[in-house]
Structures are given as C-alpha cells and as structure tokens.
Amino acid sequence: MKRAGRRFLEHMARSLEGASYLQKWLVVGSLIGAIAGVGAIVFYEALVLATHLFLGVLAGYRVPTPIGEGNTPASGAFAHPWAIPLIVALGGLLSGALVFSVAPEAEGHGTDAAIDAVHHHPRGIRFRAVLVKIVASAITIGSGGSGGREGPTGQISAGFGSLLSRVLDLSPADARIAVSAGIGSGIGAIFGAPLGGAVLSAEIVYRDDFEMAALLPSFIASIIGYSIFSAVEGFTPLFGFHTSLRFTHASQLLWYGLIGIVGGFVGLLYAKGFYGIAALSKRIPIPRWTKPAVGGLLVGSIALAIPQVLGTGYGWIQASLGHQLLSIPLWIVLVLPVARILATGLSIGTGGSGGIFGPGMVIGAFVGAAVWRLFEPVVPSLGHDPAPYVIVGMMCCFGSISRAPLAVMLMVAEMTGSLSLLAPAMIAVGIAWFIVRRGDDTIYRSQLKSRSEAPAQRLLVGMPLLANVAVRDAMAHPRVVLGDDVSQAEARRLLTEAGVNGAPVMDGEGSYLGVVAVSDLASVPEPVGGLVDAHVPTVSDSAHLDAALDALATSPDTWIPVLDPMHRVVGTLADSDVVRGYRMGLRAALGHVGAADVDSGSRQVQVGAGSPLVDLTLREAPLPAGILVTLIRRGKSSIEPDGETRIRTGDELVLVCREEDQEELARLAGGDGGPIEALDRLEPS
C-alpha cells in the first residue's frame, strides 16, 4: 500500500511537471486550501475545547466571544480568583513540556517560522512540528495565555505546502509559493478573510516588497480554505456586519491621523517589547520547558486586575465596537495595549505557542478605543460610535508593524463586514507604516527587506548564463547510492571509504527516498531507511543550472541529488559543478575559448586576517587581471558578488583564474588564509 501510494505521487509529480501554470496551481492550490480549511476547523475546535476545560471548568471563568463565535458575554467576576494564575501557569507548563520534548521548532509564533521556511528551506517544515503546534497552542491560549490562533493555522497549511513540495518534487521557486500560499490561506480561513489572506501570502514575506508570483495560487487556496472552514463554523464575519458605518466628515481625518501616529509608535513598542521579553527569558537560568509556566503565572496575576489580557481577546474587541466600551473602566482602556504587549511577551516570548497577529489586533483596537474615549466627550464631531476608530486602530497598529498594511486592512474589513472605512484608514495606516518603516522594525523578524535579498535571488542575479546550461551536462556521477535496507554500519563504511559526507537512498525498486548523512550513522545493524532525510531539495536532470542553484541555496549541504523523470538517482550536483557549468555557459556565450581559457580553472581561496583584500570592495581589490570572482561564501551564506561587494576576513572566494595567477592570488589571500583548491577536481560530497 505504501509503495502504491508512492507510485501514485510520482505519477502525479510527472503530470504536474508537464502541466501549464494554471493547471499546476489549480491542483496544488486546491490541495493546500483544503488542508487549510480542515486544519483551521481542527484547531478552532481544539481551542474551544481547551478554553472550556481550563478557564471554564477548572477556573470557573467564561471569556467573552465575538459575534462570529456566539457573542457570549464575559463572566461578571472570577469565581476562583486564586485559580487564574495557577491555570495559566499550568497551561504554560504543559505546552512547554510538549514543545521542548517533541518539536522545539514549534515554540513561539508559527508565522515567523513559516516565513523563514519560505526563504531558506521551503521543503523543510516537519509535519511533527505542525501537530505539536496545534496541541501546544490550544493549551497555551485555552488556559488563558495571550496569543492568536493565526500562527497555528498558518503553520498547518504552510507545513502541508512544504510536504507537497517534497512528495511532488516541486522546484524551489514553486515550493516557496506553496508555503506562502499555505500561510495566507490558513490565516484567511480561520479569520473568515479570504481576500486579505491571499494578499497576506504575497505581502508578509518581505518588509518592503511584494511576491506577485504567490498571488494567484493564494487566491485559489484561500477561497477553498475559507469555504471549507465557514461551511462548518458559519459564514458570519468574526465581528459581525458593520455595514452602517460611513465616512462623512473630512474633519474626522485629523482623528484618524492621530490614531495612525499612536498606532505606529505602539506597534514599535509591541515589536520591541515582545522581543525584549523573549531575550530576557533566554537569560533566565532555568530549564527552557519551565519558562512558559513562569510567564503564565505572571499573565494570570495581571489578569486578576485586567481580565482582558486572557486568551485571544476577540470578545473584548467585539465589546469595544459598541457602547459596551463605556462599561469598561477608562484606565483599563488606556493601559490595555501595554498590558497586552506584556502578556503576549510573557505567554509566547518565553517559549509558549501561539500567534501574535491576534494580540496585535486587540492592541490596535484599544488604541482606537482610547482615542475615542478620551476625546468624544469634548469633540462632538467624533460621533457617538466608537466602531470606526476601533476598526482603524486594528488596521494601522498591526498593519504597520507586520509590514503588511494592505493585507491587514483587507482582513480587518472582511472581519467587520465593512469596506466603507478603507478611505480614512489609508491615512492612519500610511502614517503608522511610515513611522515603523523609519525604524526599519517588524514583528516578523524572518522577513527579508525585498526580493533582492532572497538567497536564491542574490545567487542568480548577474548569472543569467546558468539558464542556458542543463543540469545533466554539469552533474557528476554519484560516488555512493544506498539501498534503504543497507545496515548503518555498512553505509558508514562505504561513505567513509568514498570520502563523502552523505549519499542518496533508494527503495527496493530504485526510487529515490531521501539523503542520509554519515554523521547520523552508527556502527549498528539497523537499516539506514529510518534515518533518511526527505527534506533535502532535489533537481531534475532536465532542469537548468539556475533552478539547481536555487535548490542548492536551500540545501543544508553543498550538494543535491539529481533525479530523472522516474524519480531515480542519476547524479549529484555540487557548488563546484555549478561553477564549472557557469564557465561552460560563459564560453558558449562568448562563442570561443581563448588560449588563456585553456589554462584557467575554478578555484577557491580563503581570505586571511592579514590579507590586503580585507575591507576592500571587489572593484577596489588589486586582483590580477582576468580573475572572475563568481561566488563568496561567508559563514553559512553564499553571496553573488558585484563590484561593490566588500571582502571580509574568513570569506571563501570562488573564482576563475589562470595557473600563472595562483602565486599572486595566494599572496593576496595572506594571513591565515587557506590553500588554493581547484574546484574542477573536487567531487560532490
């Protein structure tokens, strides 16, 4: 049965390889959307159950819910005040123990981890982490921890997008789109905001850019995810329909502008406060799994005075949208944004599990509510309805600090069933975004500034010739290919003798399963099949080197397996092969090979501390004429250089040079720089 399923997936992968763009994403996007919708239902029901058990049964307290979730009011008082801090601490303890013992990558807010996967390892999200995220987040938030439900749902569908990328052997570019579409469709589904979720997929991965390629797949995934979730949980917007709201007085723009100013600075405070608490938590000398319990104890203590910090807080947003806001003491309205920042940092920043989007909306809502409460008695033109200011506050506060203003505006509009406030919201969001952008801060630290900073883009820009060289022309024959039934001891011996640090693994019928690393092998008789890493990217032998370099950029090693259409291993491709392929493309483009080219070769050299090249740009560096620096390895990063790239101590320069230039190159490397190695003679390892 298992092999039959694998054969079906291989057939599906081959079909998609020859499909058109629209056909491919109709299939992949629909699958991601279906999982997004089902995953959102599972997590929503798990959160409802956890909230009932922890806060309802054990603590005797009922949290309020918004219209889309039943519109139940909060308990008038705590039945057992002493139990609140203990219950929140218990939830933190259970969540911490689960996360740090099973899947440590599930700690914190899942959206940031998914964004990081988009840029660096789109095929690398473990399904185990997704399952742990669901349970741990339901416990953290359900017991009263301050967190949002978008992180877990976004990570569920992003994780499935990553899984599809592996089983369907999608290209690195398509894998990034699949994970991005998963983020937006999951968040859009559970918030009932499909349009905003789709735009979020394209906007959230960069601080100051937009991923257009993710938009159409995200539209498909988002509408399917939303339809499935809403078919079960209802189509009513989360905060009901506010269709009567109108923007009728230009003088109100002054107050929306004020909300934008306050929202921008509060957004900055949210990011700095959250990560400040997270950094402080790391320095506390106690076991990591106990830290969420300490944070929960403090959150529960705060809740005795300010119950609005418990759980998601969406019910309190609902209260602030109407005249119930007047029943909340003014001092709570004023301090709640700061209290929520503190509670979210203590709940999630200490290692608990949950999202930070939801708390950001609560913070923004009460920024708008505070402005209305302070000025409405003395400024009649504000009107007697706080809803417009609360809605705009949600949009500008989190829209700015998430660096996704358009997506958040659309999502809040969908959650409140009103588009009429988008015009004045543009003023507030624009001001808040400008304030945040000047500080270049963000609540999602894994965001890149723009597409030009993406690892794959940085490697490919300036190397268009790679698109003209086929992988099959540059790949090397694999030194070792293992069967999944080979013992670990035998596999370790074979890899050691071949001088390689890993090898592809195939099943009994010759189909590729993944890669095994020599460092994971022990001298035991157990087969290597249980140690196979299926997350390592692969490349098709019919692809070109631009796609291969993209895959190498997301690989944890310096080589990747090359597969044929039948999913069999036919070769390996290493960094050195790409450099050699680049030379092939360069020579083909020039149309001839000169005498100097015959004697030239690909080399790598490490820059020592005493090198005269240190701190010079490549344009300034006194390198011999004719040397072409094609790549700079700096730590774990690979940089595609240009004339303004500055050389640092420890950089490994990958270059093309002539034999007679090597002595001068060694002198320039200087200091403790390593020996010059001929890449043309290096085998993939």
Look up the CATH number of the domain holding residue 659.
3.30.70.1450
Whether residues 497 and 633 share a domain: the answer is no
Q: Minimal CA–CA distance to 6: which of 344, 360, 507?
A: 507
The confidence score (pLDDT) of residue 156 equals 87
In a domain, 587, yes or no: no
Whether residues 426 and 360 share a domain: the answer is yes
In a domain, 585, yes or no: no
Q: Could you tell me the maximum CA-CA distance found in the chain, to the nearest angstrom?
A: 89
Q: What is the mean pLDDT of residues 260-285?
A: 94
Specify the pTM: 0.79
Q: What is the DSSP string of 188-205?
A: HHHHT-HHHHHHHHHHTT
In a domain, 588, yes or no: no
Q: What is the mean pLDDT of residues 635-662?
A: 76
**Residue at a domain's end among 433, 451, 469:** 451
Whether residues 516 and 624 share a domain: the answer is no
In a domain, 584, yes or no: no
Residue 447 neighbours by CB under 8 Å, 6+ apart = 115, 204, 205, 206, 207, 403
Whether residues 463 and 447 share a domain: the answer is no
Whether residues 336 and 466 share a domain: the answer is no
Could you give the CA distance from residue 164 to residue 182 in angstroms, rounded to a whole number? Answer: 11
Q: What count of Cα atoms within 13 Å lies in the side-chain half-sphere of residue 465? A: 16
Helices (H), 574-685: 575-590, 595-598, 662-669
Whether residues 338 and 208 share a domain: the answer is yes
**Residue at a domain's end among 399, 420, 451:** 451
Judge whether residue 138 has pLDDT over 60. Answer: yes
Which pLDDT tens digit goes with each residue over 68-102?
A: 999 999 988 888 899 999 999 999 999 999 998 88
**Beta bridge mates, 108:** 353
Sheet bearing 569-574, strands edge to edge = 539-540, 559-563, 569-574
Whether residues 517 and 610 share a domain: the answer is no
**Residue at a domain's end among 420, 436, 451:** 451
563 within 8 A of 169, measured Cβ to Cβ: yes
Which pLDDT tens digit goes with each residue over 390-419?
A: 999 999 999 999 999 999 999 999 999 888
Whether residues 390 and 515 share a domain: the answer is no
* Structural tokens at position 123: 């095929």
Which pLDDT tens digit goes with each residue over 577-620?
A: 887 777 777 666 555 334 334 444 567 788 888 888 888 887 77
Judge whether residue 680 has pLDDT over 70. Answer: no
Whether residues 246 and 158 share a domain: the answer is yes
The confidence score (pLDDT) of residue 592 equals 39
- SS3 category, 168: coil
Q: How confident is residue 40, by pLDDT bands cut at 50, 70 and 90?
A: very high
Residue 401 neighbours by CB under 8 Å, 6+ apart = 267, 268, 270, 271, 360, 436, 441, 442, 443
Whether residues 306 and 387 share a domain: the answer is yes
Query: Where in the sequence is the domain holding 189, given as residue range(s)?
Result: 2-451
Whether residues 421 and 459 share a domain: the answer is no
Judge whether residue 682 has pLDDT over 60. Answer: no
Instruction: Return the CATH number at 46.
Output: 1.10.3080.10
For residue 66, report the phi and psi dihedrals to the nearest 5 degrees: -75, 175
Q: How confident is residue 676, by pLDDT bands cut at 50, 70 and 90?
A: very low
Query: What's the CA angle centered on 155, arms 225 and 1, to 5 degrees?
Result: 75
Instruction: Return the CATH number at 490.
Output: 3.10.580.10
Q: How confident is residue 556, by pLDDT bands cut at 50, 70 and 90?
A: confident
In a domain, 62, yes or no: yes
Whether residues 375 and 473 share a domain: the answer is no
- HEC string of 393-405 equals HHHHHHHHHCCCH
In a domain, 127, yes or no: yes
Domain count, the chain: 3
In a domain, 472, yes or no: yes
